């Protein structure tokens, strides 16, 4: 937990910048976070054409999360908001007048990660695009899981997020072009949109790990089965390379993709929408054979509504949906991928939660 909250909120938001010094984009991002927790944007210096978007929808800047966010990592007094003491994830990237941050959040006790992009212009905030990735859990009336939305296998769980891995802040120069190429090829190969013969080999560092919404999803010796008819295939027991090439993600297609690079730290950020059309029912795993995706089919799909919600189907990989998220790729000094961290949420099919360009 950082000591950022010790700065006086009133002083930070209300104190005018020196006449000769316009606030930097990072300063404006700091002010935005404090204003969001305070629930009041009016003290922010915004451009006349300022826009605020949340989950892809343009909102008035007093709506949506402005009414629900109680704490962000480093932006709340733990004495007032005890949950703030547990928030410790923050990744930041700044390029010119654009700031992109992934910040652990709390909304009325519901935790998650807030991804946002702030664009500054002439010392004012021109636009803010946000993608809140909230934890999901079942409960009365299905808890925070929408009644019409399939429950993903690896949904956000605030207790699993944990602190930022030290490797993400370590310096390690890697060319921007290399980072972009590897990220693009990773998604193309994993989703089956490009064969291994048509792409350059992607290098993975020894011990590479992938985490989805805070949960480790590679090299797990106790990983569950995907298809009971194939007891030797456990996708989350595979390493980064084998998992990418296994066909496991072949039910997805890349609907939209934006790539951001931080060459000085060897980090790439991919804002992605992955579309699951619901038409791919199985795949061929190398050395294994046909593997069925889990989901409601046959007798399972014929159960009535009360039974479905009494024992909710938690793994559903054959229903139309999209996931919107942010993927972080960390490269070592040799340009090999050593860590992947993904934060995402489910959405209706082909719905974008970010300002994507298809």
Give the tens place of pLDDT for each residue, 162-197: 899 998 888 788 999 999 999 999 999 999 887 665
Mean pLDDT of all residues belonging to the chain: 84
Flag whether pLDDT at 151 surpasses 70: no
Beta strands 124-134 and 46-54, pairing class: parallel
Nearest to 92 by CA among 114, 121, 76: 114
pLDDT value, residue 303:
45
pLDDT value, residue 3:
37
Mean pLDDT of 117-142: 84
Flag whether pLDDT at 356 surpasses 50: yes
DSSP state of 317: -
Q: How far apart are CA 291 and CA 44, in angstroms?
A: 53
Q: Per-residue confidence at 201, pLDDT binned at 50, 70, 90?
A: confident
Mean pLDDT of 78-88: 79
pLDDT value, residue 300:
47
Mean pLDDT of 306-330: 72
% residues pLDDT > 70 (the chain): 82
Question: What domains are there in the chain, each with its CATH number?
Answer: 4-134 (3.10.450.50), 166-347 (3.10.450.50)
Q: What six digits make up the tokens of 157? A: 């769980």
Flag whether pLDDT at 153 surpasses 80: no
Q: Per-residue confidence at 127, pLDDT binned at 50, 70, 90?
A: very high
Mean pLDDT of 63-69: 94
Q: Which of 55-64, 134-143, 211-220 has the lowest mean pLDDT?
A: 134-143
Strand partners, 103: 90, 114
pLDDT value, residue 77:
73
Q: Sign of torsion, CA 276 280 284 285?
A: positive
List, in order, residues 6 or more apart from 89 with CB less than 8 Å away. Answer: 73, 102, 103, 104, 113, 161, 162, 163, 164
Strand partners, 325: 272, 344
Higher pLDDT, 87 or 138: 87
Give yes or no for a contact between 304 and 331, defined as CB atoms under 8 angstroms apart: no
pLDDT value, residue 147:
47
Flag whether pLDDT at 144 surpasses 60: no
| Tens-digit pLDDT profile for residues 26-59 | 999 999 999 999 999 998 999 999 999 998 899 9
Helices (H), the chain: 9-14, 25-38, 158-161, 176-190, 240-245, 305-310
Mean pLDDT of 122-147: 75
Flag whether pLDDT at 270 surpasses 90: yes
| Tens-digit pLDDT profile for residues 292-303 | 998 876 654 444
Q: Which of 3-12, 55-64, 82-91 has the lowest mean pLDDT?
A: 3-12
């Amino acid at each position: 937990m950082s000591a950022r909250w010790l700065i006086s909120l009133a002083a930070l938001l209300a104190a005018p910048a020196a006449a000769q010094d316009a606030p930097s984009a990072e300063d404006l991002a700091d002010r935005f976070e404090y204003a969001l927790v305070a629930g009041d944007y009016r003290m922010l210096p915004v451009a006349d054409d300022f826009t605020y978007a949340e989950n892809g929808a343009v909102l008035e800047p007093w709506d949506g999360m402005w009414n629900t966010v109680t704490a962000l990592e480093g932006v709340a007094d733990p004495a007032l908001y005890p949950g703030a003491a547990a928030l410790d994830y923050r990744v930041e990237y700044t390029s010119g007048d654009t700031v992109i941050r992934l910040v652990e959040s709390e909304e009325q006790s519901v935790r998650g990660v807030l991804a946002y992009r702030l664009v500054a212009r002439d010392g004012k905030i021109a636009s803010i695009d946000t993608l809140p990735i909230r934890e999901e859990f079942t409960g009365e009336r299905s808890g925070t899981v929408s009644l019409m939305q399939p429950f993903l296998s690896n949904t956000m769980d605030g207790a699993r997020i944990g602190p930022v891995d030290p490797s993400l802040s370590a310096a390690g120069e890697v060319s921007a072009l290399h980072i972009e190429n590897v990220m693009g090829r990773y998604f193309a190969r994993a989703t089956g949109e490009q064969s291994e013969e048509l792409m350059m080999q992607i290098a993975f560092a020894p011990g590479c790990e992938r985490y989805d919404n805070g949960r480790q999803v590679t090299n797990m010796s106790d990983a569950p089965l995907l298809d009971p008819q194939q007891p030797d295939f456990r996708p989350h027991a595979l390493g980064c390379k084998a998992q990418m090439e296994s066909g496991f993600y072949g039910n997805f297609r890349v609907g939209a993709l934006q790539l951001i690079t931080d060459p000085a730290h060897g980090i790439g950020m991919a804002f992605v929408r992955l579309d699951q059309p619901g038409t791919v029912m199985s795949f061929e795993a190398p050395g294994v054979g046909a593997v069925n995706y889990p989901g409601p089919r046959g007798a399972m799909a014929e159960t009535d509504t009360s039974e479905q919600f009494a024992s909710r189907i938690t793994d559903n990989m054959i229903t139309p949906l999209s996931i919107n998220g942010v993927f972080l790729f960390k490269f070592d000094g040799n340009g090999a991928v050593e860590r992947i961290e993904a934060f995402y949420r489910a959405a209706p099919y082909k719905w974008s939660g970010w300002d994507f360009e298809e």
